[in-house]
Every structure is written in structure tokens, then in C-alpha cells.
Amino acid sequence: MIRFTFSEWVVVTLYVVGVTVVGALCYRKNSSASDFFLGGRSMGAIPVAISLVAADMSAISYMGLPAWSFRHNMELYWVSAGYVLAVPVVMYLFLPFYMRLNLYTGYEYLERRFNKSTRMVASGLFLLMRGSHVAIAIYAPSIVLSLLTGLPLFFSVLLMGVITTLYTSLGGMKAVIWTDVLQFIILISGVFAVSWLAISHIPGGARNAYHIASAGGRLHMLNFSFDPRQLSAFWPGMFGGAVMILSTLGTDQAYLQRYFATRSLKEGRRAVLLDAFIILPAAAILYLLGTVLYAFYHTYPQRLAGLPNDDALVPFFVMRELGGVFSGLVIASIFASSMAVMSAGINALTTATTVDFYQGWFRPGRSESHYVSVGRWGTVGWGAACT
């Protein structure tokens, strides 16, 4: 077990303070419902696009994708490549439809098309699914951090849960989007730092790392087999990934709410397109990180001793091989990726609860300030429940 050093604590503390300050700066005492739930429908495409990426790239992806390519190859990348097929459908079919209806949640449409019961059932299923997802997104990386660093499990969970709930309840959607931007920058910085430092520790550098990974089959990407037992073949990856991505980008409230926060249909389309342009290379970098670590541990196999499981590979490497500021940066980026998913989740959960159930069923016709107050307390409630 590896213990946190003082410098690592400093980096993680600076991250926690920074993200809290950014979220708190978005607080407005007299926010309207549109301000709190949708950022005043005034957000630009670039921060929304980065927020979409951050909401999708949890610590499970951050640690899991390199772990997959470390043990297998790059074939699973085609699941992410499904964005190429899904994004045009979202841009030109879903978005124009949603944007002209001036919605807070996608489930409002179901009441207009069918009836209130249909809306409530769909929204309720979303609450169950997204609430579970948020809980897993903060629990899984906390287990890994606990195994590696000796940090108590409850400490990691509470740190992510309490801080994320605090800034999300204060600043609403604007806090979620701008903290997502900060968290994504930290995440990508951590990935590049690990990649560069791992390559620098391999004799012969990038050229030798490439030859080792290629000889080990870790760079293989194209598998056109029609055998259904081939988990990572191109066809199920590309087309199955496209269907999964379409269901997320086209119907998931955590994503729809970000489109609704943009100032126009044009900005919404740009946000979705930029989301794809960012996530495709980001996913490729994560898979390549696994191949780099394969080359490193192929060169120094004895240093792999003590790895608790494959998903712990990235934090294991930085804490065992690097330490100090770089280690703190990567641990902070794991926290950042989990907190970005959590903030997106509890914000969407609160919006659906407030708009679909509280306003739509129990207390219609109240003032906007009343619904904002319910939204803030709802954020606290959902944050506590997921934590």
C-alpha cells in the first residue's frame, strides 16, 4: 500500500478549493428557474461541449480504458467511434425538435404527446437509472484509491459527494458547466503527464514503446469478425456503440439539459459536434495510455508486483513510479472525472424531480423563486442520496 505524501495532499487540496471557488462564483441569490436549471439559456458551445465530454468520461472510463488496452488491444475504441454515426442524427433530428419546444426536461414532451402518466413513468425511470449511475461513478474509483493509498473508503466518497453537492446546489447549471471545464482540463493534463513520463522511463523512448506494444498485439484495432463471441469486433463496437451513444445524447436528461442551456439551436449543434471532436481523440489517448504502460511494464515486469487489479493501473503507476506533484495531479484528475459526472447527474436528477414531479404534479403554479429554492434543496437531497 502506498501512502499519500505532503505534496500530493497539497495538489489535491488545491484542486478541491479551486473547484469549490469556481462553483461558488456562479451563485446568484435571486436566480430565476431558467438561471438555476438551465444557466439562463445563455451558454456558448465550447463550455457546453467540454461539459458534455466531462459528463461522459467518468473515472471508470479514465481508469478502465487504459486497463483494457493494457490487457488486450485497441479494438474497443470503435465503441467511442460510434459518435461519428450518432452525432449527425442528434444534430439534425433530435435538437431541432427539442429546441423549438422550449423544455426544461425531455419528459415534458411525453406529456404533450401522450399523457402525464407517461411523462412520470419515463422521468421516474431516469431518476432510478441516473441516481444509480452517479453512485457507482463515485464508489468505484473510491475503492481503487482506497486500495492503493490507504485513504479510508468513506473519506473519498464523502470528499467527492460533499464538495460536488455544495457547488452544484449553489451555482446550478452554470456551476456544473464551468467546473466541468476546469475538471476536464485537470483530467487531460493528468493523462498527458502520465503518458509523457511513462515514455521517458522506457529505454529508447516512444520508438521502442511503439515496437514493444506492436509486438505484443496491443496496437491492433481492426477486427472485422462476424463471430458474436468476439466482444471487441468492429461491427458490434461501431454500430452497437452508435446506438448506445444515440440513446444517451438523444434522450438522457443529463445531456439534454446542456443543450437546453445553450443560447440557440446553432450553438446547441456546435456543442454536440465539438463534443464528438473532443471525445474521439480523448478516448484514443486513454487507450494509447494503456499501450504505453504495457510497454513500460514489459520493460520492467518486476515493478508490476502489488497491482491490486487492472483498473488500478493508472493510479498505481503514478504513485509507485512518479509520486509527488505528478501523483497528486493524477489523483486529483480521478476525483475531477468522478465529480464532473456527479455534478451533471445530481443537477439533472434535481431538474427532473422539481419540474416533472414537484411542479408538474404536486405544486403547480408557484413562483420561480419557490422552484429555485426547491431545486437547491433537491440538489442537496440527491447529493446525499447518491453519496
Q: What is the pLDDT of residues 36-93, one digit of tens each?
A: 899 888 999 999 999 999 888 877 888 899 999 999 999 999 999 999 999 999 999 9
Residue range 296-317: average pLDDT? 88
Binned at pLDDT 50, 70 and 90, residue 381 comes out as very high
What's the DSSP call for residue 240? I
Alpha-carbon span 40 to 287, nearest angstrom:
37
Least confident of 150-159, 162-171, 229-238: 150-159
Phi, psi of 262 (to 5 degrees): -75, 160
Check whether 2 has a pLDDT greater than 70. no
Mean of pLDDT over the chain: 89
Least confident of 16-25, 112-121, 132-141, 319-328: 319-328
Check whether 4 has a pLDDT greater than 80. no
Check whether 219 has a pLDDT greater than 60. yes
Residue range 28-34: average pLDDT? 82
Alpha-carbon span 21 to 37, nearest angstrom:
20
| Contact criterion met (CB below 8 Å) for 144 and 311 | yes
Phi, psi of 224 (to 5 degrees): -95, 25
- b/e 44-64 (16+ beta carbons within 10 angstroms → b): ebebbbbbbbbbbbbbbbbbb
Binned at pLDDT 50, 70 and 90, residue 357 comes out as very high
Check whether 3 has a pLDDT greater than 70. no
Residue range 318-333: average pLDDT? 79
Q: Given this model, what pLDDT does residue 235 score?
A: 93
What's the grid cell of residue 225? 469478425
Check whether 94 has a pLDDT greater than 90. yes
Check whether 101 has a pLDDT greater than 60. yes
Check whether 290 has a pLDDT greater than 90. yes
What's the grid cell of residue 235? 461491427
Q: What is the DSSP string of 133-200?
A: HHHHHHHHHHHHHHHHH---HHHHHHHHHHHHHHHHHHHHHHHHHHHHHHHHHHHHHHHHHHHHHHHH
Element (H, E) at 251: helix 241-251
196 CB neighbour count, 10 Å cutoff? 13
Residue range 101-113: average pLDDT? 92
Check whether 7 has a pLDDT greater than 80. no
Check whether 349 has a pLDDT greater than 90. yes
Please state, in angstroms and as integers, the Cα–Cα distance from residue 63 to each residue in 314, 317, 340, following that order.
Answer: 6, 11, 15
Determine the 3-state secondary structure of 43 from DSSP: strand
Q: Given this model, what pLDDT does residue 358 score?
A: 92
pTM of the model: 0.88
Give the N- to C-terminal CA distance of the chain in Å, as an integer. 25
Q: Given this model, what pLDDT does residue 310 score?
A: 84
Angle at 129 between CA 124 and CA 132, to 5 degrees: 120
Alpha-carbon span 46 to 353, nearest angstrom:
28
Residue range 281-296: average pLDDT? 94
Q: Given this model, what pLDDT does residue 1 score?
A: 57
Q: Hey, which residues does 43 pair with through a beta bridge? A: 262
